[in-house]
Every structure is written in C-alpha cells, then in structure tokens.
Amino acid sequence: MSALKLMERFVESGLPPGAFPGWLEEGSSETRRLLREAIGKRGDLARLLRAVGLLDGAAREALKDRDREKAWAEKPPTEKQLAYLALLGYQGPPPRSVLEASRLIERLKGEKP
C-alpha cells in the first residue's frame, strides 16, 4: 500500500493526530516502517497529516501513479503481458518488468490502426 493511501486511512479513521505513531505500530508493512522512521526524524506529525488532507485529486493521482510505477518496475512481467506482446507482434528482447511490458503494450497498441 502506498504511504499516501495508508495516511488517508488514518485521517479517515477520525483518530487524533497524536495517535498516528501508535496506529502505525499496529502493522508491519514496509510503508508503515518508513512512515514511523519519517516521523521519528521530523517529529512534525500534524503537518504531515494536514498535507495529506489538503492534497487535491490531481496530486493524489500523481502520487498513486508514482507508487504504482515504482512497484511495477520491481516485478517481472506477467505471462498475460508476454502473451499479449506476442499477439501484438512484438519480437524484441523480453521486457524486464511489469512497467516495461506495460509501456511496450501501450506503444504497440498506439501503432495499430
């Protein structure tokens, strides 16, 4: 889960900002660990939560896209993606990640009439 989504879930819970560190301790994901680390270094929890609450829709989507791309860049391409690339006529080297395969598919689809 992205840090943004996790923080949004906390804001939606209605708990006071001071409860955030304890709430983060309830899980063991890498995102929670990184947020606990960030809070420890900066110590400005209220500002962090206000910023999440004020993000507009476009900024939220941009952050989600960035998180998605990072995750996709680390995963190998799926069998479905590889099969679709073959169906589209792709004959180059196999993509190294879900992200690379996705971009190839979009490019090849754009080239089709």
Residues 15 and 62 in one domain: yes
Q: Is the overall model pTM greater than 0.75, yes or no? A: no
Phi, psi of 41 (to 5 degrees): -75, -40
Residues 24 and 55 in one domain: yes
Residues 67 and 98 in one domain: no
Residues in the chain: 113
Residues 56 and 17 in one domain: yes
Residues 65 and 85 in one domain: no
Average pLDDT over the chain reads 82
Tally of CA atoms within 13 A in the half-sphere of 72 that contains its CB: 15
The residue that leads in pLDDT, 95 or 44, is 95
Residues 29 and 42 in one domain: yes
Number of domains in the chain: 2
Q: For the beta carbon of residue 15, count every other beta carbon within 10 angstroms.
A: 12
Residue with structure tokens 């590889």?
Answer: 82
Residues 13 and 48 in one domain: yes
Query: Using an 8 Å Cβ cutoff, are 97 and 76 in contact?
Result: yes
Would the pLDDT of 42 be above 70? Answer: no
Residues 57 and 94 in one domain: no
Residues 92 and 50 in one domain: no
What pLDDT, on a 0 to 100 scale, did the predictor assign at position 41? Answer: 61
Residues 37 and 16 in one domain: yes
Q: Which domain holds residue 90?
A: 75-113
Residues 96 and 63 in one domain: no
Would the pLDDT of 113 be above 90? Answer: no
Residues 6+ apart with CB under 8 A from 58: none
Q: Give pairs for 104-111: CB < 8 Å, separation 24+.
A: 105/81
